[in-house]
Structure 1
Amino acid sequence: MTATTQARPKGRARKPEGQWALGERDPLNPNEVFKQTDAPLNVRRRILEEYAAGGFDTIEGTDLRGRFRWMGLYTQRRPGIDGGKTATLPPEELDDEFFMMRVRIDGGQLTTEQLRVLAGISTDFARDSADITDRHNIQYHWIDVKDVPEIWERLEAVGLDTMEACGDCTRTALGSPVAGVHPDEVLDATPALEYIKKHYVGDPELANLPRKFKTAIAWLPDMAPEINDISFVGSIHPELGPGFDLQIGGGLSTKPFFALRLGAWVPLEEVPEVWLAVVKLFRDYGFRRLRNRARLKYLVEEWGAERTRQVLEEEFLGRKLVDGPPAPTPKHTIDHIGVHRQKDGDNFVGFASVAGRTSGTALAAVADAVEAAGSARVRLTPYQKLVVLDVADENVEALVDTMRPLGFEARPSHWRRATMACTGIEFCKLAIVETKKRAADLVEELETRLAHLNEVLEHPIAIHLNGCPNSCARIQVADIGLKGQIVTDENGEQVPGYQVHLGGGLGEDLVVGRKLRAHKVVATELGDYIERVVTRFVEQREVSETFGDWARRADEEALR
């Protein structure tokens, strides 16, 4: 089968998927129409010259709900619209006149100067809102389009921006939060992240992909490499030395698919070239007919690793890749919480907020605390956490104590440490239920109810809450994944609740969580349910058995 030939089901012609490489250029859905009508990146000029002056009511519809995303802007949900109306109301009834804004922070790397600017934008323009996302962005709410030019000016003055933080483009690239300082790191991937950001983000040739494209590049496997569109993970070639194992096609949402290894080893200096080739492969061969099939994973699943590598080499690289060994697989999630020794003798200290929720006021105080501890470097993580680098031994405890009242714990409970949540119905137009506040309430509940298990559990049990099926909070790879939906309570009333997924994981436990048949939990009973299922795990587990191991083998009744 040649690279430009698709297998077709017997007996009927295959519908065009909108693959550019096959000459299928006609737009097949409304998103493809507006991208073809006017390039998404052109909206930046209109924001600066027209919309900021004219205000929300002057914004053209396909800019508002389409091209604005390429500038890191989504309309947020109008307050007071319940979850049952999420998929039924037209967009103009769901839209508020304010925006969610994502600041792009590739590699999660920040200076305290940058952190202060982020804090100031929050307090001045975003009603003190700020969330740390699981793609180590900072996410604001309540942004008025009139304020966007000044926000961009402040960000750009310190080397930050919102370019392509959303949209059908190359989103914020994940890196290791401890790149350059971790004692187990052999090769710092930061130069590759910086090169890609400088040369390719904002390139019009790469700004019309079938859908979003997520990147992870790091020596350590601490950035969920299995669920990104492309990941480069540290691997030592037996003859050529340190480099990176290439994995592509990962993603979750309604159809989880773990990235495939291509069996290729890539030296650091070639990472940007190979990354660019994969982006172009997706651009040209990706499916553009149906939005729910427009991710790279669908193409990779259909082609398989061997053919994907063949097309990549022959059509986009023009050379063979080097065969290489797989990257080591972590046994447990690497979240960097706590105090850890750096390779230079100083310490990095990882802190947990509650599900990433913080504020501009808190971030400004964090910058003060970090500098008082003798550091100027902060990292955000793919697990909604914050890490401070370069802390001398004598400054560690003062930093830990100062950060605690700001909402950041270096020695958190298991429940605070391993709970994640998406934006939820408070601001997201796709959400069906509340997540951030529910996560905060749940952590507080469990810290009281299950305090007696603090010394019994060897590892935290990850609880991820998502407001809709899209899995922004990675519910399918959590120990306990909770997908928001409207459910029927014992009185026959329609109320917010969650579908339960159990026993998912990454690394050595690479598996999609088990979905319990016909099992839903109403939001008000979530604490009861988790206390019940965790208690049963402790009672029934075998020696060295993790929660995931137990959840995958346990009788369904034990999991209800």
Structure 2
Amino acid sequence: MSKKQKRSIEELKADVGGFEAIWARVMQWAAQGWEAIPEDERDLLKWYGVFYRPPTPGYFMIRVRVPGGVLQGHCFTAAQWRTLADITRDYGRDVIDITTRQQVQLRWIRMEHVPEVLARLQSVGLTTMQTGHDNVRNVTTCPVAGLTDDEVFDTRPLVQTITDAIVGNWRYADIPRKFNITIIGCRDNCTHAETNDIAFTPALQGRTYGFNVWVGGAMGSWGTQRAWPLDIFVEPSAEQVMPVCLAILDIFRERGNRQQRKKARLKFVIDEMGIAAFREAVIARLPFPPKTAGCELTHAHAQNDHIGLHRQKNGRYYVGLNVTTGRLTLDEAYAVANLAEQYGTGEIRLTPEQNIVIPHVEEANLPLLFADPLMRTLSPNPLPFRRGLVACTGNTYCPFALIETKDRTRELVEYLDAELGEEVKHILGTFHIHASGCPNSCGRPHTGQIGLIGKKIRVNGEIVEGMDIYIGGEPGLFGAFNERWQKGVPCSEAGLLIASLVREYMQTRFPGETFHVWCLRKGLISGANTHYAPMIHDLQEATS
């Protein structure tokens, strides 16, 4: 099919009209082989969580939905996790990835094996449905929901209710672009509510606890938008949370831009309507009169990564394991399942920082757990730069990435931890570096204290892997995005620059001064990126 004949994704969705037609194609292509898939229909596979990867032709990535990082009776079990490892062993290669939306990605799956892989997942209560393209992505929440004394709500039932309403519903599988929802019951904003299309955060209205609603947060090649407060308070019940979710989704479905995909996010609908008019449009669709927003209960700039040993409200403990760059080997994956069953209750949870939590560990089992060899590679007490690292897939698998993000950032944090890790750990505890291999921002680069965006650059006449370095980010609903500090730095030189910067921060900061405030005081950033950060990136620099 020529480029002139190629259908747009909107034309394609209109042609297929639903899940059954897409599934028929999946079965057909599984029988015929991946070469039989028309180029303009490859994206249809994403409605079943199957992704064609140009860097690995003939092999596919499968993304598994894990609502809130937990599943099946509100827990993601070691048996389910072991099934993911078994599928990888039988059909893939030695790699399993955890995503920043608390999901799992399996790689190197051949098209002819896709139906069997999906059937095996379904047999243990797992689904891949609608994990890509124009769908509501995995609904996130605090990975330790239901475990801690200081949380306001256990949000797991609400996460599952919203997921059940969306998955398998073609109405919400035919939206203009991807859509992110988070429901947070803790005070730490650990799912980055500020960058979600819809965020429910704990609040107090008078004497009633409930949620404030935030809308329009997003990240992409066009830039980064901090969510607007919708000035709506809802009770923590499906009867109020669900109608608000669906009202906003319906407005997006009807008014979202279906001609220009770079402008097909909720943020642009709100830009066009104005937040006041958008709020009125939402209220007009609700079956109840909402209250105005209450007092926000999330901490201003908290960024809890859940790594380490933490006491639960039932007297047991949860242990957060650091998975560097979110990538596991098969041996590590099986070891995690074994530890969860041997020392916990078989439950496993996934975090938005690409890490793993094993909950419900009895105090008597802690010495045995911490003595296990896995604790040396997935450390619950890592050095600060390894601990704070988030990294996208990279160009080994992703066609958009311009550098091999996971390898380059692993090398970077190993250097930084060797140079000043112990000092940073003692003074700051951790340091957050978020990296994306391209401007699409899958690694949430603008939410890190330091953000890295990969690019190709020319050095002495040769094209090499490089990055733009952004600094001064501050997490939270009232924080700030980072700003570009250095342009076109070779990956091999980034460590020295960042080490010098962080060392100067520790030496010259005022007591309690955050990295963001220090960067402002030093004149390294302007402070202009509080609500909106346009992307500053030239993809053509390498060949200009």
- Counting matched residue pairs gives 509
1:60 corresponds to which of 32, 35, 38 = 38
* Structure 1 counterpart of 2:246: 276
Question: Secondary structure of the residue that 1:447 maps to in structure 2?
Answer: helix
Correspondence for 1:374: 344
Is the partner of 1:261 in helix, strand or coil?
A: strand
Deviation at 1:373, TM superposition (A): 0.5
Q: Distance in 2 between matches of 1:496 and 1:231?
A: 36
What amino acid sits opposite 2:415 in the alignment? E
Q: Is the 8 A contact 1:403 1:409 kept in 2?
A: no
In structure 2, do the counterparts of structure 1 residues 397 and 443 end up closer, same or farther at CA, with 3 Å as the change threshold?
farther
Asked if structure 1 preserves the Cα contact closer than 8 Å seen for 2:230 and 2:275, the reply is yes
What amino acid is the match of 2:9? N
**Deviations 1:240-264 (CA, angstroms, capped at 9, x unpaired):** x222111111001232111111111
Distance 2:144 2:524 in 1: 40
**Corresponding letter in the other structure for 1:545:** E
Q: Where do 1:460-539 residues align within 5 Å?
A: 460-489=430-459, 491-507=460-476, 510-516=479-485, 519-539=487-507
TM-score by length of 1: 0.87
Q: Which residue is 1:322 aligned to?
A: 291
Quickly say closer, same or farther: Cα 1:192–1:148, change in 2 above 3 A.
same
Instruction: Render the CA deviation track for 1:35-58: whole Å, top value 9, x for unaligned.
Output: 122235345422553111111012
The change in CA–CA distance for 1:290 and 1:198 in structure 2 (over 3 A counts) is same
Matched, 1:231 2:199: yes
CA contact (8 A) 1:125 1:143 kept: yes
Could you tell me whether the CA contact under 8 Å between 2:194 and 2:227 is conserved in 1?
Answer: yes
Distance 2:294 2:471 in 1: 31
**Fraction of identical pairs, as percent:** 33
Letter in 1 for 2:214: Q
Counterpart residue type for residue 138 of structure 1 = V
In structure 1, C-alpha distance between the alignment counterparts of 2:255 and 2:425, rounded to whole Å? 51
Distance 1:154 1:76 in 2: 22
Residues 60, 185 of structure 1: alpha-carbon distance in 2 compared, 3 angstrom cutoff: same
Structure 1 counterpart of 2:63: 102
**C-alpha spacing 1:97/1:343, structure 2 compared with 1 (3 Å):** same
Structure 1 residues 459, 451: closer, same or farther in 2, change over 3 A?
closer
- Is contact 2:99–2:105 with CA below 8 Å preserved after alignment? yes
Partner of 2:129: 163
**Pairwise mapping of residues 53-452 of structure 1 onto structure 2 (< 5 A)?**
53-64=31-42, 66-78=43-55, 96-109=57-70, 110-220=76-186, 221-239=189-207, 241-253=208-220, 254-269=222-237, 270-314=240-284, 316-330=285-299, 331-402=301-372, 404=374, 407-452=377-422
User: Residues 48 and 289 from structure 1, CA distance in 2 versus in 1: closer, same or farther, beyond 3 angstroms?
Assistant: closer
Show CA shifts across 1:441-486 (max 9, x none): 1222122111341454324221111100011111111111010011
**CA–CA distance in 2 between the matches of 1:355 and 1:546?**
25
Residues 412-447 of structure 1: CA deviation (Å, up to 9, x unaligned):
110111011000111000111110111221222122
Q: 1:185 to 1:549 in 2, by over 3 A?
A: same
CA offset digits 1:137-193 (Å, max 9, x no partner) = 101221111111111111111111100011101111101101111111232111111
- The answer to whether the 8 A contact 1:235-1:244 is kept is yes
Judging changes above 3 Å, is the alpha-carbon distance between structure 1 residues 446 and 242 closer, same or farther for their aligned structure 2 residues?
same
Equivalent position amino acid for 1:495 in 2 = V
Supply the AA of the counterpart residue of 1:236: L
- State the 1:289 CA deviation: 1.8
Go from structure 1 to structure 2 and tell me whether the alpha carbon gap of 1:43 and 1:123 turns closer, same or farther (over 3 Å shift).
farther
How far off is 1:399 after superposition?
1.7
Further displaced range: 343-352 or 437-446: 437-446
Q: Is the 8 Å Cα contact of residues 203 and 212 (structure 2) preserved in structure 1?
A: yes
One-letter amino acid matched to 1:68: L
Q: What secondary structure sits across from 1:202 in the alignment?
A: coil
- 2:541 is aligned to none
Unaligned runs of 5+ in 1: 1-27, 80-95
- Is 2:384–2:421's contact at 8 Å kept on the other side of the alignment? no
The structure 1 segments of at least 4 consecutive aligned residues displaced by more than 6 Å after TM superposition are none
| CA distance in 2: counterparts of 1:124 and 1:99, whole angstroms | 14
Shift of 1:404: 3.1
Contact 1:77–1:425 at 8 Å: present in 2 too? no
| Structure 1 CA distance for aligned equivalents of residues 194 and 28 of structure 2 | 42
Check whether the contact 1:497–1:523 (CA below 8 A) recurs between aligned residues: yes
CA 1:43–1:502: 2 relative to 1, 3 Å: farther
**Given that residues 196 and 215 in structure 2 are in contact (C-alpha distance below 8 angstroms), is that contact kept between their aligned partners in structure 1?**
yes
In 1: Cα distance, 2:391 partner to 2:8 partner: 30
**Matches of 1:486 and 1:409, distance apart in 2:** 33
SS at match of 1:70: helix
Structure 1 residues 42-75: Cα deviation after superposition (integer angstroms, max 9, x where no partner): 45422553111111012122321x2111111221
Q: Does the residue aligned with 1:317 lie in a helix, a strand or coil?
A: coil
Query: 1:498-551 CA deviation, whole Å, 9 max, x = no partner?
Result: 0111011221661111113x6321011122121111112122222211222222
| Deviates further, 188-197 or 173-182 | 188-197
Give how far 1:319 is off. 4.2
Q: What amino acid is aligned across from residue 481 of structure 2 in structure 1?
A: V
Contact map agreement 1:121 1:360 (CA 8 A) in 2: no
1:40–1:67 Cα contact (<8 Å) kept? no
CA contact (8 A) 1:355 1:421 kept: yes
- Residue among 544, 549, 556 paired with 2:512: 544
